[in-house]
Chain A
Amino acid sequence: MTLTKATQVTKTGDFGKRKSYIKRYWQLYALLSLPIAYFLIFRYGPMYGVQIAFKDFNLFQGINGSEWIGLEAFREVFAMNDFYITLRNTFMLNFLDLLVSFPAPIILAIMLYEIRNAWFKKISQTLLYIPHFISWVIIGGIVYQLFGTQSGMVNAVLQALGMDAIPFLTDKNSWLITYLFTGVWQSAGWGTILYLAALTGVNKELFEAADVDGASRMKKIWHITLPSIKPTIITLLILNLGKMVSIGFDRPYIIGNTAVREYSDVLSTFVYRIGLEAGQYTLATVVGLFQAVVGLVFILGSNYISKKVTGDGIL
């Protein structure tokens, strides 16, 4: 029986091969079909919908029924003052965040690495990671409690020290402090993980040799510890620069408010505001598409730079 089947396969040639291939792999294709369907519908579906950036979209006619208008919506967006304000704010908040939140985990990781008491180190790490798991909504609740001008604890402390209260939530310049504070608070501890991982690979003999030379702790940090995490620092820095134009929605939307909108309104909140709150779907899609394309250029650019600098891409 099996023998006849085998001769049949050789006789029918290609068809038989294909049949046995399918017989062998059909389970894998069956498995794969579910996630591929997901990607086609929920990831590529919206990409199909991007065409409304070039259409005069309205809900009743739908994506296909709406009329083509070429680049008219782009012209309209590029003439909007708010577009430039949100673009500037996106860059400004990302840049300030990089300035403040990027060095924090490096310093913290080095300090943790220098702790010799394993028990204290472990407890500290556990506690430092906690803020990473707190949602922006909860952080928002905490921030409004802490930084309120009249009943907030921070201002109560400042006033007890004889200083003036600072309108952390309602003055746009002071609000920047609040925004940056949340970034450091949430990410500094968690950000140490990659640096600490890089430090586990440091050759201990280097430190012993430095001890023989009588080097101080600071000297050892400067000449051994820092250089050994330098590649990680550079890679993460380039990665962060590649994300300059992308900004999450939750943080600026929740920490921001109408009083500081001049600084807190960024591309992601702008898209939400004009698209879903004001119903200008076409304009919002144009802004979203602009952000996606510029974001892609930034990522590819940073990958190129990474290859030049570190000899290894980030993609």
Chain B
Amino acid sequence: MSARTSNRIFDIVNITCVSLFVLFCLLPFVHMIAVSLSSNRAITSGEVTLFPVELNWGAYTQVFSDHSMLTSLGFTVILTVATTLLCMLFTIAAAYPLTKGNLKGRKFFMYLIVITMFFSGGIIPEYLLIRDLHMINTVWALILPGLVSPFNLIILITFFKNIPPSLEESAEIDGSSYMHTLIKIVLPLSLPVMATLALFYAVGRWNGFQDALMYINDPQIYPLQLKLFQMVQNNMVTELTQMEGANRTALTPEALKAATVIFATVPILLVYPWLQKYFVSGVMLGAVKG
């Protein structure tokens, strides 16, 4: 066998393996779409795999006419945007002063922040704090506890430090204040890294679940994940009761659950391809130590 054919065989095997792995990542979504579009009879008899059986849009009509689902989606979008803005504001406010080496107390503030990366009070004291601040069942319980991620903060400090000092110095000589320098010079030079951090915060809030489970029990302000969870739990109960031979006709339609899952996934899939490069660069930034 010549080197060329063995090379070719290697390529074919390699591309096949990668393609299989890509399929492995995608098939669950394809299956969920198929289930969401199938009739209940076909789903429960296990006929649906990758294509809809007895095509049926009923589940989506139901999801989109479910007022509480749309409210939850709207609330989660607003919550995510607001959280991301506040997080960025606070992270920038912390990062910029901490790049100034001659600022008195800088080291102390750095230690104060870094310590929290390695030790935390735990969820019970956190819960009690939120309770004492009367934030249970308010959006503040979902926004304030995670306002600054020390990890993101260190990424931003590292980035700010790498901006050539001459750019800032020239502004300072011109008598520009720190605030002015930050807004006019530093921030415009940091747009890509800020996009990355904003995305980290946004995804974290969008997917966040535990805090909502702990702090929110007013259905009016259920974030999407918490609302979805109740259906998942419902699914789980279904699975357990089936074991005991319960009557399956009485169950929530599987198609509806699948449609809800797709409904909650689509927003992520819509924005993700456009923002992918910022996510990837974020991982690299995180790998470079500050």
Which A residues contact B (CB, under 8 angstroms)? 21, 25, 27-29, 31-32, 34-36, 38-39, 41-50, 52, 62-63, 108, 111-112, 114-117, 120, 124, 126-131, 133-138, 140-142, 144-146, 148-153, 155-157, 159, 167, 169-170, 185, 188-190, 193-194, 197, 214, 216-218, 249-250, 253-254, 257-259, 268, 271-272, 275-276, 281, 284-285, 288-289, 291-292, 296, 299
8 Å CB contact of B46 from A25, A120, A151, A275: A151
Write out, one digit per residue, whether chain B residues 85-96 have a CB within 8 A of any chain A CB (1) or not (0): 000011101101
A112 to B273, CA, bound (A): 19
8 Å CB contact of B90 from A35, A140, A142, A146: A35
A112 to B15, CA, bound (A): 9
Does A27 lie within 8 Å of B128, measured CB to CB? no
Question: Cβ of A112: which chain B residues have Cβ within 8 Å of it?
Answer: 18
Question: Cβ of A48: which chain B residues have Cβ within 8 Å of it?
Answer: 121, 125
Which residue from chain A places its CB closest to the CB of B258 in the assembled complex?
A: A145
Does B284 lie within 8 Å of A197, measured CB to CB? yes
Known A28-B100, A32-B94, A141-B235: A275·B123 in contact at CB below 8 Å: yes
Sampled A-B contacts (18; CB under 8 Å): A31-B94, A42-B144, A48-B121, A48-B125, A63-B128, A124-B19, A126-B276, A129-B279, A130-B269, A134-B207, A135-B225, A136-B207, A138-B264, A144-B239, A149-B239, A193-B283, A257-B240, A259-B243
Which residue from chain B places its CB closest to the CB of A148 in the assembled complex?
A: B239
A2 to B177, CA, bound (A): 19
Does A144 lie within 8 Å of B235, measured CB to CB? yes
- Given A138-B264, A141-B235, A151-B46, 7 further pairs, Cβ under 8 A: A49-B121, A145-B261, A149-B239, A250-B209, A257-B236, A271-B123, A275-B123
Known A149-B243, A188-B21, A214-B3: A27·B179 in contact at CB below 8 Å: yes
Which residue from chain B places its CB closest to the CB of A123 in the assembled complex?
A: B22
Number of A-B contacts (CB under 8 A): 284
Does B18 lie within 8 Å of A156, measured CB to CB? no
Distance from A301 Cβ to chain B, minimum over Cβ atoms (Å)? 12
Does B119 lie within 8 Å of A47, measured CB to CB? yes
Known A120-B15, A169-B236, A193-B283: A138·B261 in contact at CB below 8 Å: yes
Question: Cβ of A27: which chain B residues have Cβ within 8 Å of it?
Answer: 177-179
8 Å CB contact of A170 from B47, B207, B243, B280: B243
Write out, one digit per residue, whether chain B residues 221-251 have a CB within 8 A of any chain A CB (1) or not (0): 0000110110110011011101100000000
Does A137 lie within 8 Å of B283, measured CB to CB? no
Number of residues of chain B lying within 8 A (CB) of chain A: 100
Does B6 lie within 8 Å of A34, measured CB to CB? no
Does A250 lie within 8 Å of B264, measured CB to CB? no
Question: Cβ of A145: which chain B residues have Cβ within 8 Å of it?
Answer: 31-32, 35, 235, 254, 257-258, 261
Which B residues contact A (CB, under 8 angstroms)? 3, 6-7, 10-11, 14-15, 17-19, 21-22, 24-26, 28-29, 31-32, 35, 43-49, 89-91, 93-94, 96-98, 100, 103-104, 109, 112-113, 116, 118-129, 132, 144-145, 147-148, 153, 177-179, 182, 203, 206-207, 209-210, 214, 225-226, 228-229, 231-232, 235-236, 238-240, 242-243, 254, 257-258, 260-261, 264-265, 268-269, 272-273, 276, 279-280, 283-284, 287
Distance from B25 Cβ to chain A, minimum over Cβ atoms (Å)? 5
Known A25-B103, A27-B177, A36-B109: A133·B25 in contact at CB below 8 Å: no
Distance from A86 Cβ to chain B, minimum over Cβ atoms (Å)? 14
A117 to B12, CA, bound (A): 12
A47 to B118, CA, bound (A): 12
Does A140 lie within 8 Å of B232, measured CB to CB? yes
A118 to B149, CA, bound (A): 35
8 Å CB contact of A115 from B3, B15, B31, B32: B15
Does B93 lie within 8 Å of A32, measured CB to CB? yes
Known A185-B24, A194-B283: A35·B91 in contact at CB below 8 Å: yes
A151 to B239, CA, bound (A): 9
Question: Cβ of A38: which chain B residues have Cβ within 8 Å of it?
Answer: 90, 144, 147-148
List of 4 A-B pairs having minimum Cβ-Cβ separation, nearest first: A46-B121, A288-B122, A49-B125, A135-B207
